[in-house]
Structure 1
Amino acid sequence: MAANTTNLINFVFDIANKLRGPYLPAQYRKVMLPMTVLRRLDCILAPGKEALLKEYDKLQAKGLEGKALHKALARKASKDRKHPLYNISPYTFEKLLADPDNIASNLVSYIHGFSKPAREIFEAFEFESEIEKLDKANRLYLIIQEFTRPEVNLHPAQVSNHDMGYVFEELVRKFNEQANQEAGDHFTPREVIQLMAHLIYTGDEELYTPGIARTIYDPTAGTGGMLSVSEEYITEQNPQAHLELFGQEYNGESWAICRSDLLIKDEPIDNIAFGDTLGDGVTEDGHPDKTFHYMLANPPFGVEWKPQEKFVKKEHKQLGFHGRFGPGLPRINDGATLFLLHMLSKMKPAPEQGGEGSKIAVVFNGSPLFNGEPGPSESNIRRWIIENDWLDAIIALPDQLFYNTGIYTYIWLVSNRKPAHRKGKVQLIDGTRHYQKMQKSLGNKRNKLGDQHIEELTRLYGDFKDSATCKVGLNGKREKRICSKIFDNRDFGYLKVIVERPLRLNFQSSAERIQRLWEEKAFLNLATSKKRKNQAEHDREVQEGEATQQRIIALLKKLRNTLYQDRTEFEDVLNAAFKRADEKLPAPIKKAILNALSERDP
């Protein structure tokens, strides 16, 4: 992270501390994240502000309004942009400070002056309610004043889009840490995304053809890190590539940050849908009819999918393999593989089917790898993927790599357009030693991937061969250890066969076995009574029970000391003996007798 980016983050946190009192530290994010976005947009629009306002006055004088006015303003504001971004209010941050008595209403007016896509971002932040709270607490003027300082110049000429991504990432992480929330729900460490980008685009030489068009999708987009890193990775090597970014996010704040990032970079933001990707009955898949060339995701780890259960099961039952969840459903307490099934349903047809095919990179914990027995579970999902020859590689990552968990994680690479030498094969890569210790822990994150680790893991994947040595550790020291192993698809197949055999017993009314009847609870309960208050009744019931016990013992002793190896034959003898003696044989007592008089007999 660049020094100026670190300084900027520190400045923003210094400003956040001025909220102390009216806000708890866990609530700082409600103000600081939208204010950071607002200041960024303010800096972008400031140079052309006066010219746009003059054009706005001219258009109003001509009687333009509604959509016609928007289109005309968009043309004026979009001379250097593909996607319109403008603000028709007379305010900037500096002008807001010039009228301190009306700063709250003027700030609301300023936000309402944005073009619709930008307004929707602040609606998702629910920022107007915070403006009112800040004003009542006498903090609004102070916060805007602090954001107007030269040290917080967020103009793209000062802070690149790449660095702004880092700023958002670090702000979200720190504010979540203060709120004691799981930062991993919102973003993945930048170096993990960089590794995923290196892996998924390795071997795709056509991607670097000038003018090529490709689509990239993240169904759990968060703040948009995977999309922006992918875009940076490709355009650095092919500036003429035409990339379309798609995603979906259910957290309003993360959705707002993702869309603001795209808006700032002059990219279409309507491709980032809001809602639950799996479907919860209220929202659903935001891109139902689309397929994509590349897909990257970090689904939630170990999160149950009860909120989506009804919707998912209905689709599974009604559509089967014509829907997203044909192969089966995972256990209710971890829905990670549902997102993989969702992405698989969005693959373009394979080259042998006349299509371009797709590649997927997804981060999982160990659960999708190991859980589920043969049958409708994770096991069937794995089997379906491998039998279709889609599983390309699995890379085991170091532990303590994510902000919210110290567990080991794995990158799955899945593709329906494997090159010829990878067909029918799966590559396993051990990257658990490819890390360096961080100087300062960030939550549970104590390890990180350096550039040398990303390069080495990418090399191992690209070489596609068994490797007994690889470079690991901070200094890239070469160790003798199995780092890459190639397997046939069939090596992962297995069946669970349960062999059941009847319980084989023999029966004999011997003295030794009859004695074991006194260990059976049902037999002992014959000589008990629940009548505690009436002692006479209690004693009478106990005596009657003891008499019954003695009659049963005497009856069993009269049976011949024959060894029966057929249960049915012995039961017939037993039933006949009790019937001759006119003695009842309740089911619990019969079970007790059979238990006592039987032994295993192979």
Structure 2
Amino acid sequence: MKKFREKADLIWKVADLLRGDYKQSDYGKVILPMTALRRLDCVLAPTKQKVLDYLPKIASLKDNAKDIALNKIAGFNFHNKSQFDFKKLVADPNSIALNLRNYINGFSAGAREIIEYFNFDDQIDRMDKADILFRVVSEFKKIDLSDMESMEMGYVFEELIRKFAEQSNETAGEHFTPREVIRLMVNVLFNEDREILTKEGIVKTLYDPACGTGGMLSIGEEYVKELNPKAELKVFGQEINPESYAICKSDMLIKGQNPSNIKFGNTFTVDGLESEKFDYMLSNPPFGVDWKKAEKTIKTEAEKKGMSGRFGAGLPRINDGSLLFLQHMICKMKSTGSRVGIVFNGSPLFTGAAESGESNIRKWIIENDWLEAIIALPDQLFYNTGISTYVWIVTNHKSEERKGKIQLVNATGVKDEELLKEGKLEFNRFWQKMDRSLGNKRKKIAENGNTKGIGLITQLYGDFRENEFVKIYPNEFFGYWRVTVEQPLKEDGKVVKTKGKPKPDTSLRDYENIPFLKKNKEGKLVQQAIDEYFKTEVKPHLSEAWIDESKTKIGYEINFTKYFYEFKPLRSLTEIKADILALEEKTLETEKITLE
């Protein structure tokens, strides 16, 4: 982690050269593509001369065959056949723009496309005219990125992007997933399939429909390789932001993945992997970002394709497309079984009344027995938002013991919040305070050991046993009827009737949410009837009321905090009185000292 901070700081200092010629909010247009270029340059350096020496030997081959041969010599899925590298670029200050373009054009198609998505050619012109291009290239040449692991480079890029986002006040939905959160999600996602993944020669697929810089994909691949070096995890993704897409694709190139599996564009309007199904899916889609730009396409698909399309279960409100991502991912599950992990804020748990878009989506997922678990994470984990987050685990292949049930894991560590605020505790079993904040990120989840952090949360999930941090409920527990309670309209004290029936007084109309299940005398959950609930809970207070059955709706919601709420008894009057008397006595003593 120290290495990542050092490299990020060195790169950030280069941005000082842009001061005056660029607005701070535009620094990323230069620094990000230059970082990607330098990373590619460092990775190819050991074999660069071998590639150049081999060029004459394959002069007669077709372009496709040339690329395959040169990639093999380079040792990656890409190469650079230009005579230039960063060392040679800075040796000729007078031709820096011409030579830099020559160098970029020397990359094989996949790598060249990455730089093109940064629109970097425009910046070469701009820097050259401002007479800062040579200095920028020279400073990057001094930064060695050859010793960086993929995970560390991911951190470098995300730190830079975070800083640029802050400079330009890009906050809505612009947050990046901390690596420890991804590691937790990966642990939980693969936990049920560890035995399958240890088989020799196993090949699986992982997909992220909002892949950003590729953090989810990278850590998923690392996990599987650690578990079984002979396993292969093919990764796929789609990203709407051109810079993030380019960074992700460069990472895939360096790691030997197929870069064509990463698609550019809006997942909702153009599904770049429409015909594909995946074994595993992970995502952290933007929180609370509207889908207005894609509204026409999404509504058209929902209307024309219905349940045979991606959005047939329902459409959430226009200002939050989170549940659209989950529907999209569910529609990419294999019939033989897939597992999905996705990060949400609290909204998808309960937003929307019965038969609203959100409620109908929850109903669809829960009644199909796809929702396996929800893990509540601590707040202040993300860089650009301090809100609480939840990991949903969804699968169409539950184990026998999990069928018909939903597991809730409370990993917020709320009981220790007061002690932490008072400075009496540095960490609890789930998270610890960071040495220094990164934006809004003030907490981190410990990555080692089974008694705290990631290890503990994974164990709580895997054990599938109720305790102070875990609740397990049947699917029906989250369903309810929303009933309309009417009372008669009265005139001069008499009930007004229409066709022999009381006419409802709309000003007295009320609603009740009646859960499908209730606790019996023994504390066990049992089925509940609407009539029974109405008779015991409503009638004693409103003797003339009735239910308009034609208006009854079904809803589903998950009131996570409510299920873990613990009632704290009020302090006794004796305790309160003693405290007041002690305070009065202390005040009198203070006054006495002052008078003296």
Is 2:150 aligned against 1:161? yes
Q: Which letter does structure 2 place at the counterpart of 1:106?
A: N
Question: Which structure has the higher relative contact order (CA within 8 Å, separation 6+)?
Answer: 2
Q: Residues 186 and 223 of structure 1 are in contact (CA less than 8 Å); yes or no, is this contact kept in structure 2?
A: no
How far apart are the structure 1 equivalents of 2:273 and 2:163?
A: 32
Q: Does the residue aligned with 1:432 lie in a helix, a strand or coil?
A: coil
Q: Which residue of 2 aligns with 1:335?
A: 321
- Cα–Cα, structure 1 residues 370 and 566, in superposed 2: closer, same or farther, change >3 Å? closer
**Aligned with 1:256 (options 246, 256, 263):** 246
How far apart are the structure 1 equivalents of 2:196 and 2:498?
A: 74
Q: Does the residue aligned with 1:375 lie in a helix, a strand or coil?
A: coil
Q: Which residue of 2 aligns with 1:449?
A: 445
- Cα–Cα, structure 1 residues 564 and 235, in superposed 2: closer, same or farther, change >3 Å? closer
Q: Does the residue aligned with 2:485 lie in a helix, a strand or coil?
A: coil
How far apart are the structure 2 equivalents of 1:12 and 1:119?
A: 22
Q: Residues 174 and 286 of structure 2 are in contact (CA less than 8 Å); yes or no, is this contact kept in structure 1?
A: yes
Is 2:62 aligned against 1:72? no
What's the CA shift for 1:320?
0.8
How far apart are the structure 1 equivalents of 2:355 and 2:172?
A: 34
Q: Does the residue aligned with 1:450 lie in a helix, a strand or coil?
A: coil
Q: Which residue of 2 aligns with 1:193?
A: 182
Q: Which residue of 1 aligns with 2:480?
A: 494
Q: Does the residue aligned with 2:114 lie in a helix, a strand or coil?
A: helix
How far apart are the structure 1 equivalents of 2:350 and 2:163?
A: 33
Is 2:490 aligned against 1:504? yes
How far apart are the structure 1 equivalents of 2:22 and 2:312?
A: 48
Task: Report 1:467-546 matches (<5 A).
Answer: 467=467, 482-501=468-487, 503-506=489-492
Is 2:68 aligned against 1:95? no
**In the TM superposition, what whole-angstrom CA distance separates every residue of 1:157-213 from its partner, at most 9, and x where no partner exists?**
x22223222222222222222222238535211111111011111121211212111
Q: Which letter does structure 2 place at the counterpart of 1:47?
A: P
Q: Which residue of 2 aligns with 1:369?
A: 349
Q: Which residue of 1 aligns with 2:409?
A: 429
What's the CA shift for 1:421?
0.7
Q: Does the residue aligned with 2:260 lie in a helix, a strand or coil?
A: coil
How far apart are the structure 2 equivalents of 1:308 and 1:232?
A: 34
Q: Which residue of 2 aligns with 1:49?
A: 48
Q: Which residue of 2 aligns with 1:10?
A: 9
Q: Which region of structure 1 is more displaced relative to structure 2, 165-174 or 360-369?
A: 165-174
Q: Which residue of 2 aligns with 1:551?
A: none
**Aligned with 1:171 (options 150, 160, 164):** 160
Q: Residues 316 and 324 of structure 1 are in contact (CA less than 8 Å); yes or no, is this contact kept in structure 2?
A: yes
How far apart are the structure 2 equivalents of 1:219 and 1:272?
A: 10
How far apart are the structure 2 equivalents of 1:70 and 1:343?
A: 34
**Aligned with 1:213 (options 203, 206, 223):** 203
- Cα–Cα, structure 1 residues 26 and 211, in superposed 2: closer, same or farther, change >3 Å? same
Q: Which residue of 1 aligns with 2:572?
A: none
Q: Residues 197 and 227 of structure 2 are in contact (CA less than 8 Å); yes or no, is this contact kept in structure 1?
A: no
What's the CA shift for 1:79?
4.0
Q: Does the residue aligned with 2:81 lie in a helix, a strand or coil?
A: coil
How far apart are the structure 1 equivalents of 2:228 and 2:303?
A: 44
What's the CA shift for 1:239?
0.8
How far apart are the structure 2 equivalents of 1:316 and 1:566?
A: 43
**Aligned with 1:137 (options 130, 136, 139):** 130
Q: Any gaps of 5 or more consecutive residues in structure 1?
A: 350-354, 468-481, 508-562, 569-600
Q: Does the residue aligned with 1:437 lie in a helix, a strand or coil?
A: strand
- Cα–Cα, structure 1 residues 190 and 271, in superposed 2: closer, same or farther, change >3 Å? same
Q: Does the residue aligned with 1:270 lie in a helix, a strand or coil?
A: helix
Q: Residues 283 and 341 of structure 2 are in contact (CA less than 8 Å); yes or no, is this contact kept in structure 1?
A: yes
**In the TM superposition, what whole-angstrom CA distance separates every residue of 1:518-573 from its partner, at most 9, and x where no partner exists?**
xxxxxxxxxxxxxxxxxxxxxxxxxxxxxxxxxxxxxxxxxxxxx996899xxxxx
Is 2:391 aligned against 1:405? no
Q: Which letter does structure 2 place at the counterpart of 1:247?
A: G
How far apart are the structure 2 equivalents of 1:366 and 1:297?
A: 16
Q: Does the residue aligned with 1:209 lie in a helix, a strand or coil?
A: coil
How far apart are the structure 2 equivalents of 1:13 and 1:183?
A: 23
Q: Which residue of 2 aligns with 1:241?
A: 231
Q: Residues 291 and 347 of structure 1 are in contact (CA less than 8 Å); yes or no, is this contact kept in structure 2?
A: yes
Q: Which residue of 2 aligns with 1:392?
A: 372
Q: Residues 18 and 132 of structure 2 are in contact (CA less than 8 Å); yes or no, is this contact kept in structure 1?
A: yes
Q: Residues 31 and 127 of structure 1 are in contact (CA less than 8 Å); yes or no, is this contact kept in structure 2?
A: yes
How far apart are the structure 2 equivalents of 1:226 and 1:566?
A: 63
- Cα–Cα, structure 1 residues 59 and 385, in superposed 2: closer, same or farther, change >3 Å? same
Q: Which residue of 2 aligns with 1:383?
A: 363
Q: Which residue of 2 aligns with 1:299?
A: 285
What's the CA shift for 1:487?
0.6
What's the CA shift for 1:466?
0.7
**In the TM superposition, what whole-angstrom CA distance separates every residue of 1:345-380 from its partner, at most 9, and x where no partner exists?**
00011xxxxx2x001111111111011111141111
Is 2:108 aligned against 1:109? no
What is the count of residue pairs matched by the alignment? Answer: 480
Q: Which residue of 1 aligns with 2:586?
A: none
- Cα–Cα, structure 1 residues 484 and 56, in superposed 2: closer, same or farther, change >3 Å? same
Q: Which letter does structure 2 place at the counterpart of 1:414?
A: V
Task: Report 1:279-358 matches (<5 A).
Answer: 279=269, 284-349=270-335, 355=336, 357-358=337-338
Q: Residues 175 and 383 of structure 2 are in contact (CA less than 8 Å); yes or no, is this contact kept in structure 1?
A: no
What's the CA shift for 1:228?
0.3
Q: Which letter does structure 2 place at the counterpart of 1:265?
A: K
Q: Does the residue aligned with 2:296 lie in a helix, a strand or coil?
A: helix
Rg: which structure is higher? 1
What's the CA shift for 1:58?
4.4
What's the CA shift for 1:326?
1.5
Q: Which residue of 2 aligns with 1:26?
A: 25
Q: Does the residue aligned with 2:98 lie in a helix, a strand or coil?
A: helix
- Cα–Cα, structure 1 residues 213 and 58, in superposed 2: closer, same or farther, change >3 Å? closer
Superposition RMSD in Å:
2.0
How far apart are the structure 1 equivalents of 2:281 and 2:239?
A: 14
How far apart are the structure 2 equivalents of 1:567 and 1:421?
A: 54
What's the CA shift for 1:53?
2.4
Q: Which letter does structure 2 place at the counterpart of 1:292?
A: F
- Cα–Cα, structure 1 residues 381 and 73, in superposed 2: closer, same or farther, change >3 Å? closer
Q: Does the residue aligned with 2:313 lie in a helix, a strand or coil?
A: coil
